[in-house]
Amino acid sequence: MNFKEELKKYIDLINDELIKYVKTNECPEQVLNEAIGYSLMAGGKRLRPILILSTYSLFKDDIQKSFKFAIAMEMVHTFSLIHDDLPGIDNDDYRRGKLTNHKKYNEATAILSGDSLLNGAYKLIIEDIANSDEKEKSKKINALYELSHGIDRMIAGEYIDTEYEGKQISSEYLEYMHENKTGALIKSSVKIGAMLAEASENDIQNLSKYAEKIGLAFQIKDDILSEIGNQEELGKPVGNDRERGKCTYVTKYGLESAQKMLDNIINEAIEIIKNYTKNSEFLIELALYIKNRNK
């Protein structure tokens, strides 16, 4: 299987599991459920759940054992996007080429859909833990603890982003913001995949460094696309960051330097992953995909 086929396999798996979740979710409020499904199925890249599945499969074959966490991670990511788009935060009308949740429904529905997704992610995993044997229980509790830390850091990063809109921030603080806002859940995804697969502490550490690199690269590429991307491919307006006075890698360092930083960081990520295991081809290709994506 080449990279594109493998990527598609993962995305199909994840979408199938998400559809199953949306269909069986017991929330009795039909419109709230519909709004949750609308945002969950709005065609994301599924990067975070892919990282859980592909990191897990570096060590073990039975990747269905990491499905629940993959789904929960995408639910958490979707919650963060819905709240991020709200009028009180970024006030975005479009996401992935579709109306944002509060534009499609209304603000109250968007706030509560986000809340429900965050809570639903925990509910899904805790039910799974309650039904696991002792050994699996401990492993999954540790993975869930990692998730809760990742979410905490993601929210802190989001807060910094909001707070510093229109202000200049130091390069250290810009990096720190992104380590939290985008990086935290990407790193947690890789760590959770490794933890569930019972990787050694040393492997988890190495993979975390890889995750930090691709997390930062992902954000730099986001900043580049926000400046020069194709609006139709991106599914959202281009140039928004600059208009809002957001401090990004492009507004701070210029386009050329940002592109160079991106190239270097991806090379560093590949160096870490290629020396460490024979099964890392997919994760090498994924790093390149993050660099070269158009949306």
Nearer to its own copies, 167 or 278 (CB): 167
User: Can you tell me the distance from the alpha carbon of 295 to that of 26, in angstroms, rounded to the nearest whole number?
Assistant: 33
Nearer to its own copies, 163 or 233 (CB): 163
Let me know if 151 is exposed, middle or buried by CB neighbors in 10 A (0-12, 13-18, 19+).
buried
Q: How far is the CB of 284 from its own copies (least distance, A)?
A: 33
Nearer to its own copies, 198 or 233 (CB): 198
Q: How far is the CB of 182 from its own copies (least distance, A)?
A: 16
Q: How many residues does the chain have?
A: 295
- Hey, how many other C-beta atoms are within 10 angstroms of the C-beta on 159? 14
Q: How far is the CB of 187 from its own copies (least distance, A)?
A: 16
Q: What are phi and psi of 98, to 5 degrees?
A: -120, 160
DSSP string, 25-67: ---S-HHHHHHHHHHHTS----HHHHHHHHHHHHH-S-GGGGH
Do residues 210 and 54 touch, judged by C-beta distance below 8 A? no
Q: How far is the CB of 210 from its own copies (least distance, A)?
A: 24
* DSSP tag of 236: S
Nearer to its own copies, 128 or 281 (CB): 128
Q: How far is the CB of 111 from its own copies (least distance, A)?
A: 6
Nearer to its own copies, 49 or 120 (CB): 120
Q: How far is the CB of 294 from its own copies (least distance, A)?
A: 30
State the residues that interact with its own copies by CB under 8 A: 27-29, 31-32, 79, 83, 86-89, 102, 106-112, 114-116, 118-120, 122-123, 126-127, 129-130, 134, 137-138, 141-142, 144-145, 148-149, 151-152, 155-156, 158-160, 162-163
Nearer to its own copies, 143 or 217 (CB): 143
Nearer to its own copies, 148 or 168 (CB): 148
Question: Helices (DSSP H) in 165-280: which residue ranges?
Answer: 171-181, 183-196, 201-228, 231-234, 240-243, 249-253, 255-274
Q: Angle, to 10 degrees, between the axis of helix 201-228 and the axis of helix 171-181?
A: 110
Nearer to its own copies, 175 or 281 (CB): 175
Q: How far is the CB of 252 from its own copies (least distance, A)?
A: 21
- Hey, how many other C-beta atoms are within 10 angstroms of the C-beta on 134? 7
For residue 165, the surrounding DSSP H or E stretch is none
For residue 99, the surrounding DSSP H or E stretch is strand 98-99
User: Can you tell me the distance from the alpha carbon of 176 to that of 170, in angstroms, rounded to the nearest whole number?
Assistant: 10
Q: How far is the CB of 12 from its own copies (least distance, A)?
A: 28
